[in-house]
Structure 1
Amino acid sequence: MDIVYPAPLTPGDTIAVTAPSAGVPPSMSARLDVAIAALRAGGYEVIQGVCLRDDTETAHISASKEARADELMALLIDPDVAAVIPPWGGETGIDLLPLLDFELLAASEPCWYAGFSDTTTTMLPLTLRSGWATLHGWNLMDTPYAPAPGHRRWLEVAELSEEERVTPFAQRAATHRRDAGWDDYREDPQVSEMTLTVPTRWKVLDGATAHFSGRVIGGCLEVLSPLAGTPFGDVPGWAAQQDEPTVVCLEAAEGNAYEVARLLHGLRLAGWFDAAAGVLIGRTPAPDAPSLTQHHAVRDALGDLEVPVVLDVDFGHQQPFLTLVNGAHAEVVVDPGGQSISQSLT
């Protein structure tokens, strides 16, 4: 299946905001307003879906599965919508999948669909089954932040012109990460600078250097693992249709090291790494287990994969995060001269 890239975003375009999984409670509405204002300050028109703002603090979904699926479908196929971005992820976006018409989406002009965490539950099938490139790395609530040096926000990637897409754009590894947790959007909804104080670097599992390339595919480990073996997570089938190997990108949100090991083993048994030229594992705030660290969990499942596995890459549930394009060609370099990923939308 050929990858189809949406048209470049340009000021004046319409960006739609909907919550296919978790909505925004009243205590977070000020941050949502700030994030929408940031888009408008960039010259974009913004429309807000019905499935977005919650009336309570306790709901884990923004609306019924039927309402969320209908709204997401309507926005994705609307020719006047250039991009769709949820406020954040959530927990159970998986309930939308049987209700989405991926054949209709494949026949429609694509728009940009961006997000991470539970949003990847719907992003991955959109790439695998409908051929759309999707933007992994930032949610709407993150959009007001300035990116870390060497990184690009999702908007910057979506705005690449047709000419710029042909030339690979590089993102360098961050030098520092956030210590723990997230900024308090209730107390400071205007926050726009990441607090990055802890040194960090990418690490090659059982090695010092790595250099590989292929088609990017992946997302959040906990929410994508249940899709393996279903029509919505057929990474092996998709990989067989590509003209080059894959670069599988996975990150854990909160599962402890035992769970992460099990999930990675499961994806390996399902063939997710069979066509991989290399694997990127996002840096995680998830806990170690009594007898297994997060790094050891990756080694337990992928240590004998015979392709490079890179740890602590800058994507996932710990700031900062770069932007990965599911479906794009990527080249990964980790050596004493630098650590980077270059992508081209071709």
Structure 2
Amino acid sequence: MASHRKPRQRPLLSGGTLRTAATLALAGAATATAYEGTSQADPQPTPDQVKSQVDRLYEEAEAATDQYNGAKEKAEAAQKSLTELRDETARKTDRLNTARSALGSLAASQYRSGSLGTAVQLALADDPQDYLDRAAFIARAGDRNAAEVASVRRQLDEVGRLRDKAAGRLSELRAREAELADRKSVIEGKLDAAKQLLAKLTAEERARYEAQGAGSVGAPGSGSGAAVAPAPPGDGSRAARAVAFAYGALGKPYVWGATGPSSFDCSGLTQAAWQAAGVSLPRTTYTQINAGHRVSRDQLAPGDLVFFYSGVSHVGLYIGNGQMIHAPHPGAPVRIAPIDSMPWAGASRPA
């Protein structure tokens, strides 16, 4: 009799064969992952690529620094206005309190003297003429009382307005402080990224970057060989005094947000130089370019402000012969550089 039992199915792979296949599959996957990781790894940037990326980061950091400087200027103005408003409010509050005290004393005196009717007071007076004199004085005092009440009311309204205005200034100041913190975070992030990129270069490559990147020299006679510094003008003009100040700043460190005397950022240097000549410039590059009248590149004279990049984010002080003194970026002190070392944006001559 034929058996109707289903034939026993054999596994496609035995236990040993299965383990071997699994091992091979895992090994293949690991190998594929390794190859994939290798193919996706970022290649080491060349020195030229590092220079390009660092230059871009410094440019972006300088633009953020300008925004920081602008926000700081507005924050300082808001703080000054707030302080003045608070001082004015305190003075007016003192005068208000004095007026209210005097008004209270006068009201109390009138209340005491007015407790009897006018006819009764006249009848009981020892000297009717003296009473009439006093009554005339009280009438005048009543007029003065009304004026004092009106004055106190005006002062109350004025103090209230001052307090509201001060509250608005305080709110503005807090907003500016928050903006400063944001700008500072952006700047520090970009500078940290630039520092990490530069760390990938050898010491020799970093030195070459500093020498070539700014195309600059240090103080006259420093022997760096990138350019020959023209002598500062000595005609005693305001422009000459500004240039002389810039020469005196050579070698001082770049610090973002600094306006001297021991360190500078780019617009801080030009502001301080012209301040030494008795001319007040605004704080940021995008406002300094409009502080005087524009001059073309072929009409440049020592003392002119020269601006770079499409966002007008860098400024230097022209010293003649196609050279300027500027504060380049962190790690690069105030130095002399050719004006064609960065993308040209314009020039102005402070009034």
- Shorter-chain TM range is under 0.3
- Larger relative strand fraction: 1
Structure with bigger helix share is 2
Q: Which structure has the larger Rg? A: 2
TM-score (norm 1): 0.21
Question: TM-score, normalization: structure 2?
Answer: 0.21
